[in-house]
Amino acid sequence: MKIAVFSTCSYDKEYLELLNTGHELTFYTESLNVQNALLTKGFDAVCIFVNDKADAEMMPLLADNGIKLILLRCAGFNNVDLVMAEEVGIKVLRVPSYSPEAVAEHAMAMVLTLNRKTHKAYNRVREGNFSLENLIGFNLHGCKVALIGTGHIGKAFYKILKGFGCHISAFDPFPDAELIKEGLKYENLENALKDAQIVSLHCPLSEDTLHMINANTLKLFKKGAMLINTSRGGLVATSDVIEALKTGQLGYLGLDVYEQERKLFFKDLSANIIQDDVISRLISFPNVLVTSHQGFFTKEAMTQIAEITFLNADSFANGKPLDNELLS
């Protein structure tokens, strides 16, 4: 098949070319949107990532251009209108799971960095400053962690937390029977968040989860708590989080995702004036750590993403069952 690959960085091209099973690939660095939809003309499929648009406005344009298949290089699909895709006859396939440990380990790296301030210590020592002033942290052993979402990534994070000796409470509309057997206690969202010292988000973005962390839910956290989000930016009402940081209700914030990341992440803007005042405010806080959707970024995950993407493409091209199809 002829596949147009959007939001391509050098590493995407490297792994997709290495593991290609015989498809004709054309790479575009741009994110897919209605302004550049004409680029899809003449292709059988588009291969897109988290910040590409495949919404209700885009779907008829893709269909008119001959697109029959959307290949998502990710698990999340909040950027895809599945109802409209079905209406115009476009199949949507995703990578449902790719090294969940990669994201879980990144979440823990953010917890440890914020807590023990290793990023600040690194910079101090390089300048000859060996003082420990203002670098104090807290023991993870025995602290209460609210685990929001226990899918593949949340489950992997639970195992890491358990190894640290944390007290874990979880919220998920679909509790995991295996984790219950291991002793994980599921509660409603309010009780899971109540007095939590660390809150880590591992759930998809939907109408039900949009801005689930807001002014009201932030009040449930233990004062000075830590919030980690490695899932989707829209889970968090950013303006409310900023207010919680200013008052001290929130003591630490680690974000690998951001609601308005489309214009920022995966780009080198070091020579530009950042036009997003909210992200500029966030990164001005000394107790905030922002990484640019880096959680998935391991060799193992990149390999699995490419392999499953081509498995999906091959299944569609050869009329085989579409195990990873998304339905409305």
- Measuring CA to CA, which residue among 205, 274, 265, 264 is closest to residue 237? 205
Residue 270, classed as helix, strand or coil, is coil
Other CB atoms within a 10 A radius of the CB of residue 16 amount to 22
Residue 233, classed as helix, strand or coil, is helix
Distances (CA, A) of 89 to 55, 70, 83, 92, 167: 14, 11, 10, 10, 48
User: What angle is formed at CA 127 by the lines to CA 125 and CA 128, rounded to 5 degrees?
Assistant: 65
Q: Please classify residue 235 by burial: count the beta carbons closer than 10 Å to its beta carbon, then call 0-12 exposed, 13-18 middle and 19+ buried.
A: buried
Partners of 185 in beta bridges: 169
Catalytic site includes residue 94: no
Catalytic site includes residue 261: yes
Please pick, among 73, 94, 232, 259, the residue that the annotation labels catalytic. 232
**Tokens at residue 225, please?**
């708590």
- Measuring CA to CA, which residue among 157, 248, 143 is closest to residue 197? 143
Strand order through the sheet with 185-186 = 185-186, 167-171, 144-148, 198-201, 225-229, 250-255, 288-290
- In sign, the C-alpha dihedral spanning 18, 27, 24, 99 is positive
Partners of 290 in beta bridges: 255
The string of DSSP letters for 40-82 reads GTT-SEEEE-TTS-BSTTHHHHHHHTT--EEEESSS--TTB-H
Please pick, among 261, 262, 300, 325, the residue that the annotation labels catalytic. 261
**Tokens at residue 281, please?**
């405010």
Q: Which residues are catalytic?
A: 232, 261
